[in-house]
Structure 1
Amino acid sequence: MSLESLISATLAGLGYELVDMSMSAKSGLLRVFIDKPAGISIEDCTVVSNHLSNWLVVENIDYERLEISSPGMDRPLRNLAAYQRFMGEQVQVKLRVALAGQRRFVGALRGASDAQIELEVEGEVLKLDVANIDITRLVPNI
């Protein structure tokens, strides 16, 4: 099991979703972005930080610093559950390989499956293969 899978399972047991994480080999910084339906507070970050700090020691996982944060207003969407949760919202999608000469699209999320997402861009629904998506982020509604 990968570190990401282990952390995700640990957070799920606490009632949180792992949105994203990164580990810098150079600085030893482990960044973990969490969420839950009601949103994330400072107290949530403290609870997760304390729990993961102890868990990382027990699991003998080498790191220098641990940073816990909410995913922010432009949170990434990385799995089917996230796509389904934010159906109808505006998203920005960056593709690995261009489609019709374009790699970036902004539109309303209209459908999602394990294989592709449907994005409404200027009245036209595009079907984008999940395997070709580099990253999808929410567009903040301000």
Structure 2
Amino acid sequence: MKVAEVQPLFFLLITTMEKEQIEAAVAPIMAESGFEITDFKLLRMNGKPLLQFFVDRVTPDCREPISSSAAETDDIIPPPPCSTGKAGGGVTLDDCGSLTEKIGTYLDTNNIIEDGYIIEVSSPGMDRVLRYEKDYKKFKGSKVKVKLKKPLDGARVYYGAITGFENGQVLLSGDLKFSLEDIDEVRLNPDDDDILKTPGKK
């Protein structure tokens, strides 16, 4: 007999209704500190909400201030202007600790989450997520793994190199194209040679 797992109502509400609001509220804090959110996941650990932020450093000459008040009243998360474009972006452990403290202070002060929660902040890694049009243009030529929401021609996962972005569609090598509306997730998919060419890697 199968027994369905019953998740707490609070967690379901956070997952379905407030994930976007949390990211939108935290984005200005990241921007003011010189970072952008490349990905945000809302999970559960030991019965508590787990907020995982993956961040990259934004280059100083292209930062644009985003007011906290605007984020609170606008459900649309504005894409950050630009970032270093390098895996990790020079994000340090001290950066992660500082951002974790700032996020926690903001959430507590504004009563964003009423119950206990856990925050994790880390760099995006070599397989960072691509979410915005600017990401696809910046990483043109890079190898990626595309996971679709629904199967297309019998497959949900496709691999290829980004060849462009046009009319809301991601273009890949092999004449593949996918609408953003049909994409569940796109990640960089470097091979061993690409990793060895990365600065700081040997």
TM-score band, normalised by shorter chain: 0.7 to 0.9
- 2:40 and 2:94 map into 1 onto residues whose CA distance is 19
Structure 1, unmatched stretches of 5+, are none
Instruction: State yes or no: 1:27 paired with 2:48.
Output: yes
Instruction: State yes or no: 1:79 paired with 2:98.
Output: no
Deviations 1:35-55 (A, max 9, x none): 122431112112211211211
Choose between structure 1 and 2: higher strand proportion.
1
- SS of 1:18's partner is strand
1:36-115, aligned counterparts within 5 Å? 36=57, 37=84, 38-62=89-113, 63-113=116-166, 115=168
- 1:77 and 1:87 map into 2 onto residues whose CA distance is 11
CA RMSD in angstroms comes to 1.8
Instruction: State yes or no: 1:129 paired with 2:179.
Output: yes
The answer to whether the Cα contact below 8 Å between 1:80 and 1:114 also exists between their aligned partners in 2 is no
Give the ranges of 4+ consecutive aligned residues of structure 1 lying more than 6 Å apart after TM superposition. Answer: none
Change beyond 3 A, Cα 1:97–1:3:
same
Larger Rg: 2
Identical aligned pairs, as a percentage?
A: 35
Aligned length: 139
Structure 2, unmatched stretches of 5+, are 1-19, 58-83, 196-202
- 1:114 and 1:4 map into 2 onto residues whose CA distance is 26
The CA deviation at 1:91 is: 0.2
Q: Residue 15 of structure 1 corresponds to which residue in structure 2? A: 34
Choose between structure 1 and 2: higher helix proportion.
2
- SS of 2:48's partner is coil
- SS of 1:109's partner is strand
- SS of 2:164's partner is strand
